[in-house]
Amino acid sequence: MPLTRIVSWSHTLLQEVLRPGDLAVDLTAGKGRDTLMLADAVGVDGRVVAFDIQAKALDQTAERLSSSGREPVFWLEDQAIPKLPGCYLIQGCHTDLKKFVGPELRAVVANLGYLPGGDPEQTTCLSTTVEALRQGLQLLCKGGRMAVTVYPGHSGGAEEGAAVTELLSGLPSDAWQVLHMVVANHSVAPYLLVAEKKQ
């Protein structure tokens, strides 16, 4: 794989800890590539919850899952998802994470920025991103990981990235391991932060 393909690194590092039957969350479903990766890793007995504010993004995610033999559920209830295995798609802001998902999360993925090919104004934003990540960190189980891909090139992306970096690099080292992966010879390339809650 090309060395600088940051999203692929995020997948590899999450796949390493995910097991069949796990619970995983995609905070930014977009075109569904990350959601499908999680769904494949947790298998038919696992649960994946994917958020996006745009109906168009969730439709693309649902299509991707369906093409891979999944039956995604558009979760329209105003309550937590059930214990039943499945891929639950939620149209709304990821700051509602705790309303829909309980503890014992094995993995959280957040691929920031805007929907590829979509409206660049509909981008993730610093305050909601940080709040959703805080909730995700609280819900992770021991050994669980959160992977955040930051795109500093778009408007507001650099500031959002700085806030995410501050949040994750401030986690206490007795309880967390945190990795920061950057493309060393390109200043506006995406970069990755991965936090693992120690066993």
Binding site for ligand SAM (CB under 6 A): 28-34, 51-54, 57, 93-94, 111, 113-115, 122-124, 128
Question: Residue 123 Cβ, how far from ligand SAM at the closest point, in Å?
Answer: 6
C-beta closer to ligand SAM: residue 123 or 135: 123
C-beta closer to ligand SAM: residue 22 or 52: 52
Residue 107 β-bridge partners? 24, 145
Q: Which helix (H) or strand (E) holds 3?
A: none
Cβ atoms of 124 and 160 closer than 8 Å: yes
Question: Residue 69 Cβ, how far from ligand SAM at the closest point, in Å?
Answer: 18
Question: Residue 32 Cβ, how far from ligand SAM at the closest point, in Å?
Answer: 6
Residue 27 φ/ψ, nearest 5 degrees? -80, -15
Task: Output the residue with the shortest Cβ distance to ligand SAM.
Answer: 30
C-beta closer to ligand SAM: residue 118 or 176: 118
Distance CA 197, CA 150 (A): 20
C-beta closer to ligand SAM: residue 32 or 72: 32
C-beta closer to ligand SAM: residue 28 or 135: 28
Distance CA 123, CA 119 (A): 8
Distance CA 14, CA 107 (A): 7
Question: Residue 67 Cβ, how far from ligand SAM at the closest point, in Å?
Answer: 14
Question: Residue 59 Cβ, how far from ligand SAM at the closest point, in Å?
Answer: 11
Q: Cα angle at 138 between 133 and 141, to 5 degrees?
A: 115
Cβ atoms of 173 and 148 closer than 8 Å: no
